[in-house]
Amino acid sequence: MPRLDLALTATLPADADAATLAGRVWRPDLGGPAVVTLRGGQVVDVTRSFPTSRDLCENADPAAALRAADGETIGSLADILANTPVDGRDPNRPWLLSPLDLQAVKAAGVTFAVSMLERVIEEKARGNPAAAATIREEIGKLIGDDLSKLKPGSPEAMHLKEVLIKQGAWSQYLEVGIGPDAEIFTKAPPMSTVGTGADAGLHPASSWNNPEPEIVLIVASDGRIVGATLGNDVNLRDVEGRSALLLGKAKDNNAAAAVGPFIRLFDAGFTLDHVRRTTVTLTVEGEDGFRLEGSSSIARISRDPADLAAQMIGPHHQYPDGAALYLGTMFAPIKDRDAPGGGFTHKYGDIVTIAAPELGSLVNRMKRTDACAPWTYGASHLMRHLAGRGLL
């Protein structure tokens, strides 16, 4: 049976000693969350300098400001990681949280050609995984499976759109995949994301679903991209496949937005160009012995990360507390798990590991949304806590 194991070396980036990492920890001794950084394997509470993760990311130079901040050492990362999974947790000792707090949580959809085709297939299958294989073959014959060199919104893309319309094969997913406008949607409310080691939620109404391993950009309120982390944009394929108008039900559920383990802030050693070259890997290990592996290369994204951020925030869309933006994934699992032709879907108890050398690893166990810890701590609770600490 797979275990939810938060190994220290796997959690951190390969070059952790050179990385500027920001996170959040629950402090039972104070009855609330703390903004933290890592120094020499120790977790340092810097909340007196930055009451929220949002405040840190709004700084003119977040990485430099975090390195210079004074703080209180609250324990080793190894000990805090060991106490993070809910099974066996000592509620009197600190544990790791999602690194996000007040930021809006947004996501970009259909940003890779492979995932675009899978969304078209979902739509055509009307939520029926048994029909997906046949439709996948038909769509592939019509438009091919390599659209990675097609620039969205370009004359070539618009010509392809005209051809597909004439053939009766146009789809709303092709519109956002190769058209001028990106799909940007709200993934989850601020304060609702879960971190590494937490249970992640699957709505029990779904019988066809999958993880989506992604990089998450951290964007300040003025549009600056200041860092990145990992995310799992848990997706209910059958729900979205029935109707794109059910996107909220397919995406925004209890514990269905996993983010972490830390925000890696941009500095001389880690920039947006590093993100553009990153490959995100995925492993799913089931209690039934099933194992699935995959990857998503940001180098093959159809829309540049900076363009996606610019479509999310600007003169027409403001986020005064900044935003976190899931960039989308090229990974769409089709490996049969049970019956031939049935494709992949999660089972409760699956351990999902999303990793990248530059960002570490995000590990979650899949459970029913109503079996995950309920979301009870919101922005009002955080403000009262910070006021009680004299930090507001």
Cα-Cα-Cα-Cα dihedral sign, residues 98, 100, 105, 108: negative
Predicted local distance difference test score (pLDDT) of residue 300: 87
Cα-Cα-Cα-Cα dihedral sign, residues 19, 9, 191, 364: positive
Predicted local distance difference test score (pLDDT) of residue 139: 60
Tally of CA atoms within 13 A in the half-sphere of 230 that contains its CB: 31
Predicted local distance difference test score (pLDDT) of residue 148: 60
Cα separation of 192 and 126, whole Å?
30
For residue 61, give the 3-state DSSP assignment.
Answer: coil
Predicted local distance difference test score (pLDDT) of residue 167: 61
Cα separation of 268 and 380, whole Å?
36
Cα separation of 249 and 240, whole Å?
8
Cα separation of 13 and 9, whole Å?
8
Cα separation of 216 and 229, whole Å?
5
With CA atoms as reference, report the closest residue to 355 among 331, 373, 337.
331
Rg of the chain (C-alpha set)? 21
Q: What are the φ/ψ torsions at residue 53 (nearest 5 degrees)?
A: -60, -35
Q: What residues contact residue 8 under an 8 Å CB cut-off, 6+ apart?
A: 77, 78, 81
Cα separation of 270 and 292, whole Å?
30
| Residue bearing tokens 């050609």 | 113
Q: Are 277 and 149 in contact (CB under 8 A)?
A: no
Predicted local distance difference test score (pLDDT) of residue 157: 75
Predicted local distance difference test score (pLDDT) of residue 244: 83
Instruction: Specify the pTM.
Output: 0.89
Q: Which residues pair with 364 in a beta bridge?
A: 352
pLDDT 10s digit of each residue in the chain, 392 long? 577 879 999 999 999 999 999 999 999 999 999 999 999 999 999 999 999 999 999 999 999 999 999 999 999 999 999 999 999 899 999 999 999 999 999 999 877 765 666 666 667 676 677 777 776 676 666 666 555 666 777 887 777 777 667 666 667 777 777 778 889 999 999 999 999 999 999 999 999 899 999 999 999 999 999 999 999 999 998 998 888 889 999 999 999 999 999 999 999 999 999 999 999 999 999 999 999 999 888 988 888 999 999 999 999 999 999 999 999 987 777 788 887 877 789 999 999 999 999 999 999 999 999 999 999 999 999 999 999 999 98
CA distances from 173 to 3, 118, 121, 231, 278 (A): 37, 9, 10, 22, 25
CA distances from 342 to 32, 196, 201, 322, 382 (A): 44, 30, 22, 41, 44
Phi-psi region of 40 (alpha: psi -120 to 50; beta: other; left: phi over 0): left
- Strand pairing report for 257-265 and 225-233: antiparallel
